[in-house]
Amino acid sequence: MTRSQLRQLFGGLGAIIMLSSCSPNITQAPDETVADAASTDTATVSQAALQDAPQTIVALTSVSADIVHTLAADTLVGIPGSPLLTNDPRFEGLTVVSSGRTEPDLETIVALKPDLVIGAAGFHDKTLERLTDLEVNVVSADIKSWESLKTFTQILATQLNVDPTPLVERYDACLAKASDSGATAIVLASRDPILSPSRESWAGDFLEQFNIQNLTADLQGQSEFQGYITLSAEKILEMNPEQLFFIDSGGGIQAEIAQLETDSFWGQLSAVQTNQVYPFNYHGLINPGSIESIERVCETLG
């Protein structure tokens, strides 16, 4: 995987959820609320931010599209071109506004006349700024923890005037699968460079919620990707985790393991010697992806 691809995968992992627009129909959260969101990973947005519940929503990320569809399916009109959605019959017939990791098609979005567009902070900033200039209401969101996932869901439910309880209960049921194993683990999010999540990431928080000791949770290091640190082979050997989680980049699990086996440190690790090596999809553990992909990780970690 190239550095350019890594930037696209990890570049938008931030912390703030907020509403913004030049339209008079929406008000931005006060500065202290945004600061609170960044520091405690919860956010409070005025329940009266939108004068009317949105009737047409375009979601630029798969997880926001899934949440909107689950809360109020008839409001969703535009989705990203993610296989998580395009292969799901629930989203059949909805307009696809982006392809792969390219910029969303602004003309296609505007043609849908959305009351609200939801994008990812740090990844869709330019698109959301251009939509704001066109007086389209936008939400800039980034989900890096279970608390922010719940908060984001509750914010959307408030704007849609629907009850978030059934969806929040799904989150709680997912978290209830956590065990008390306390095993030590390292997540290998990529091989070149070797990236592993700190606690300031979705993956890091996921492991913490499931009582897994993420050995890179509090490490300090140089990395251009927020919430991730770069590891050396020597550091991995020094930490020698009981479990190893690696991300399948799409080439197939056997091919991934064959590549990992070429690394000199691989066979020396306790997790490898005791067959405690587990593959995960990027969607679910590194990026939320969808509600179903999150629930699959819960099943595996539980």
Which residues are CB-contacts of 70 (< 8 A; sequence separation ≥ 6)?
A: 167, 291
Tell me the C-alpha distance between 109 and 81, whole Å.
13
Q: Is the domain of 169 the same as that of 233?
A: no
Q: For residue 49, is it within any domain? A: yes
Q: What is the pLDDT of residue 51?
A: 64
Mean pLDDT of the chain: 83
| 211: in domain | yes
Window from 8-22, 89-103, 258-272 with minimum mean pLDDT:
8-22
Q: What tens digit of pLDDT does each residue of 261-278 get?
A: 888 888 999 999 999 999
Q: Are residues 62 and 128 in the same domain?
A: yes
Write out the two tokens for 218: 């509090």
22 in any annotated domain: yes
Q: Are residues 83 and 225 in the same domain?
A: no
207 plus 291 within the same structural domain: yes
What is the β-pairing status of strands 76-79 and 57-59? parallel
The verdict on 212 and 167 lying in the same domain is no
Query: Looking at the structure, do residues 124 and 233 belong to the same domain, yes or no?
Result: no
Residues 8 and 154 in one domain: yes
Among candidate residues 147, 174, 201, the one where a domain is terminated: 174
DSSP state of 75: G
The verdict on 263 and 198 lying in the same domain is yes
3-state secondary structure of 246: strand
**Number of domains the chain contains:** 2
Is residue 214 helix, strand or coil? Answer: strand
Residue 125 lies in a domain: yes
Domain boundary residue, one of 111, 143, 174: 174
> Which residue would you say has higher pLDDT here, 12 or 252?
252
* Dihedral angle of Cα 137, 142, 143, 145, to the nearest 10 degrees: -130
194-234: pLDDT as tens digits: 899 999 999 999 999 999 999 999 998 766 778 999 999 99
Flag the least confident range among 110-114, 116-120, 241-245, 253-257.
Answer: 253-257
- 113 lies in the same domain as 242: no
The DSSP code sequence of 253-301 is HHHHHHHHTTSTTGGG-HHHHTT-EEEEEHHHHTB---HHHHHHHHHHH
Is 152 found in the same domain as 11?
yes
Q: Which of 174, 199, 224 is the last residue of a domain?
A: 174
**pLDDT band at residue 181 under the 50/70/90 scheme:** confident
| pLDDT score, position 222 | 65
In-domain check, residue 250: yes
Is 230 contained in some domain?
yes
CATH number (domain holding residue 47): 3.40.50.1980
Looking at residue 223, its pLDDT comes to: 66
Per-residue pLDDT at 110 exceeds 70: yes
Cis previous bond, 89, omega within 30: no
Residue 179 domain-assigned? Answer: no
Whether the predicted pLDDT of 190 surpasses 50: yes
In a domain, 281, yes or no: yes
Together in a domain, 201 and 155: no
Beta strands in the chain (DSSP E): 18-20, 57-59, 76-79, 95-96, 116-120, 138-141, 184-188, 195-197, 213-214, 228-230, 243-248, 277-281
pLDDT value, residue 30 = 26
β-strand partners of 228: 197
Does residue 61 carry a pLDDT above 60? yes
Q: Phi/psi of residue 255, each to 5°?
A: -65, -40
Instruction: State both tokens at 137.
Output: 């209401």
Higher pLDDT, 163 or 181: 163
Q: How confident is the model at residue 119 (pLDDT cuts 50, 70, 90)?
A: very high
**Poorest-pLDDT segment among 62-76, 90-104, 161-175:** 90-104
pLDDT at 262 (0 to 100)? 83
Do 124 and 11 share a structural domain? yes
Compute the average pLDDT of residues 59-66.
Answer: 97
| pLDDT, position 107 | 96
Q: Domain limits at 100? A: 3-174
Q: Look at residue 42 in the predicted model and tell me its pLDDT.
A: 35
In this predicted structure, which of 28-32, 142-146, 164-168 has the lowest mean pLDDT? Answer: 28-32
